[in-house]
Amino acid sequence: MIELISDTGERREMTINMGPQHPSTHGVLRLELVLDGEIIKKVKPHIGYLHRCFEKYAEEMDDYAKVIPYTDRMDYVSAMNQEHGYVVAVERMLELEVPERVEHIRVIVAEMQRIASHLLGIGAFGLDLGAFTPFLYLFTEREKILDIFEKVSGARLLYNYMAVGGLMRDVHPEFKEDVADFVKTFRPKIKELDNLLSYNKIFINRTANIGVLPVEVALNYAASGPVLRGSGLKWDLRKDDPYSIYDRFEFDIPVGSGEVGTLGDCWDRYIVRVREMEQSLRIIEQALESMPDEGDVMEAIPKRIRMKEGEIYVRTESPRGELGYFIAGDNSASPFRVKARAPSFVHLSMLPAISRGSLIADMVAIIGSIDIVLGEVDR
């Protein structure tokens, strides 16, 4: 136990650093913890160790299309979703409609990326709390998705696959078969995950009633994605502010229920991600069924895009929440202003509010439950 006693016998607060090179901070993050014994009195996140300079890089590009590789490098474990949000924003500014086949492929790879991201987040969360076996099981499933992405784009992490007006290239001939096989084999694995981790007594004891985020606090901090839905609010941009062709598909929005503890605790945020993977499978199946077998994958656009004067803000549902792109054009080929609204940055700001009064060991669970990626925080 960490306890500091003064010469007069009084308890004193102690300040320690967690990170920046701590495996459970999910990146290069330093947390300044003010402790009373092992009880956390105050938390101050220190960021800026992994500055991507995304916005300034984007504004220096002489073509809107050249920004796409830089979007990959913000949330680098859900690069397809980062690309999707950016290309949708540029296409809306251009008032450009993309081919049906493109829309279906984009939705399929975005939902597969959502599953891959959640598999990594959930696996690392369990690993933080001492559960090593689920991490290996989940990484095995994630590798199957990355194999498909590698056949599609040639890369396994940073894809540069989506393009303004379409896709960089068409999918391989076995794409639909590969995706259908993954859906078929992965669905039973979710049940295994529930047996192995979700309802494991030790895991529940480490996550239930920890890091409770009331829905009012979540809204005040502008939380979104699984963090907000874990507090019980049914809000998903794919349904509530649809983009692409998501309004054509039937799927549910999982929310926290306080099933094993308090509504909005670490376990609720975890289980929302597990249930979201099931819904992503539903979306993928529907998209595969309605996807045209033939068609262009690139709309005819100028080799260099010159954007008219104006501005736009487009938000999409990334695995971590509302990913927003603000773009301002000035009648040139270079973006005048690009601003990214990163959900990980927003959720990290909530850490002091939901960790006060917790133990040091609980801080590990709380960080894992909000599933941050530091490339997005330090964008």
Note whether 70 and 217 are same-domain residues.
Answer: yes
Q: Residues 186, 115: contact at Cβ < 8 Å?
A: yes
Please state, in angstroms and rounded to a whole number, the distance separating the CA atoms of residues 374 and 269: 19
Alpha helices by DSSP H, the chain: 54-60, 68-72, 79-94, 100-128, 132-153, 175-193, 201-207, 215-220, 225-229, 237-240, 266-290, 343-348, 351-355, 360-370, 374-377
How many angstroms separate the CA atoms of 236 and 233, rounded? 9
pLDDT digits (tens, 9 = 90+) for 82-132: 999 999 999 999 999 999 999 999 999 999 999 999 999 999 999 999 999
> What is the residue-averaged pLDDT of the chain?
94
pLDDT tops 60 at residue 4 = no
Which tens digits make up the pLDDT trace of 30-57? 999 999 999 999 999 999 988 888 999 9
- DSSP of 198-210: IT-HHHHHHHTTS
| C-alpha span between 221 and 112 (Å, rounded) | 29
Q: What percent of the chain has pLDDT over 70?
A: 97
In this structure, the answer to whether residues 26 and 123 fall within a common structural domain is no
CATH code, domain carrying 159: 1.10.645.10
pLDDT band at 27 (very low <50, low <70, confident <90, very high): confident
Residue 50 contacts residue 26 (beta carbons within 8 Å): no
176 and 215 co-located in one domain: yes
User: How far is the C-alpha of 2 from the C-alpha of 15, rounded, in Å?
Assistant: 10
Average pLDDT rounded to a whole number, residues 336-346:
96
pLDDT classification of 76: cutoffs 50, 70, 90: very high
**CB of 91 closer than 8 Å to CB of 59:** no
The C-alpha angle 316, 378, 39, rounded to 5 degrees, equals: 100
Q: Answer yes or no: do 170 and 310 share one domain.
A: yes
Q: Measure the CA dihedral 199/204/205/207, to 10°.
A: 170
Distance in angstroms (rounded) separating the CA atoms of residues 363 and 213: 14
Q: Are both 28 and 169 inside the same structural domain? A: no
Q: Are 247 and 339 found together in one domain?
A: yes
Structure tokens at 294: 């033939």
pLDDT band at 1 (very low <50, low <70, confident <90, very high): very low
Residues 146 and 186 both lie in one domain:
yes
Q: What is the count of structural domains for the chain?
A: 2
Instruction: Give first-to-last CA distance, the chain, whole Å.
Output: 37
Do residues 20 and 168 both lie within one domain? no
Residues 26 and 168 in one domain: no
**Per-position DSSP letters for 159-198, written without gaps between them:** ---EETTEESSPPPTTHHHHHHHHHHHHHHHHHHHIIIII
The region of weakest confidence among 3-12, 102-111, 147-156, 347-356 is: 3-12
Contact 62, 333 (CB under 8 A): yes
Do 41 and 169 sit in the same domain of this protein? Answer: no
Which residue is associated with the tokens 């890091």? 211
Residues 181 and 218 in one domain: yes
Q: What is the Cα–Cα distance from 251 to 232, expressed in whole angstroms?
A: 17
Specify whether 30 is located in the same domain as 156.
no
Q: What domain range includes position 250?
A: 54-377
Structure letter (DSSP) for residue 44 = E
Over the stretch 260-314, which tens digit does the pLDDT of each residue have?
999 999 999 999 999 999 999 999 999 999 999 998 998 878 778 888 899 999 9
